[in-house]
């Protein structure tokens, strides 16, 4: 399988967050390789918040989404939750984010798209900040231009106590 090209740097309008605090993964011929140990996504607090969101949806088995924003201090904020309406399939999480939040993350149910949706891409473009999606397929980031970057494969990293991220 060919290695995807590196994404271009995101175009972010003011107020511009410190871009060095995210986009922690570089794609190499050996797959994704972390290159910033002190990035927000590598913090125990971030990993715990993603795990909490994933657990809240019963590991993606519920037809629901959970997520959180990361504040300007680099710490995950309160958890948000939405259950999909089975009749209309309306219930995707509409996150409440502040203009100074650095990025937001939410889960996708196993029965839904495993990758960032068109709505996720539009939200990242409108907000001009990254949107992260965790699904059973892995974690992905959508930058402010709509480019999708795979960050982690699967969900094993959430349960691996030795994983740095």
Residue 47 or residue 89, greater confidence: 47
Q: Does the pLDDT at position 57 exceed 80?
A: yes
Distances (CA, A) of 75 to 7, 87, 124, 159: 25, 36, 19, 20
DSSP secondary-structure letter at 115?
S
Model pLDDT, residue 122: 92
Ordered by start, the domain boundaries in the chain are 36-154
Model pLDDT, residue 34: 45
Model pLDDT, residue 158: 84
Topology at the third CATH level for domain 36-154 = Cytidine Deaminase; domain 2 (3.40.140)
* Backbone dihedral region for residue 128 (phi beyond 0: left; psi -120 to 50: alpha; all else: beta): left
User: What is the C-alpha separation between 135 and 140, in angstroms, rounded?
Assistant: 8
Question: What is the tens place of the pLDDT at every residue in 107-147?
Answer: 998 888 788 989 899 988 998 888 899 999 888 888 888 98
Model pLDDT, residue 16: 42
**What six digits make up the tokens of 63?**
């037809």
Question: What is the tens place of the pLDDT at every residue in 15-46?
Answer: 444 444 444 444 444 444 444 556 677 778 88
């Amino acid at each position: 399988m060919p290695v995807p090209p590196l994404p271009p740097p995101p175009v972010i309008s003011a107020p511009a967050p410190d871009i060095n605090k995210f986009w922690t993964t570089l794609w190499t011929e050996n797959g994704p390789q972390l290159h910033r140990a002190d990035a927000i996504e590598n913090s125990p607090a971030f990993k715990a918040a993603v795990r909490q969101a994933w657990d809240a949806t019963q590991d993606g088995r519920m037809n629901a989404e959970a997520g959180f924003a990361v504040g300007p201090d680099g710490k995950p904020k309160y958890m948000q939750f939405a259950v999909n309406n089975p009749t209309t399939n309306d219930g995707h999480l509409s996150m409440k984010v502040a203009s100074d939040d650095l990025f937001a993350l939410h889960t996708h149910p196993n029965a839904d798209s495993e990758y960032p949706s068109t709505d996720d891409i539009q939200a990242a473009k409108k907000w001009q900040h990254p949107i992260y999606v965790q699904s059973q397929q892995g974690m992905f980031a959508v930058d402010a231009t709509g480019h999708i970057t795979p960050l982690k494969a699967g969900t094993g990293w959430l349960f691996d106590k030795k994983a740095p991220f």
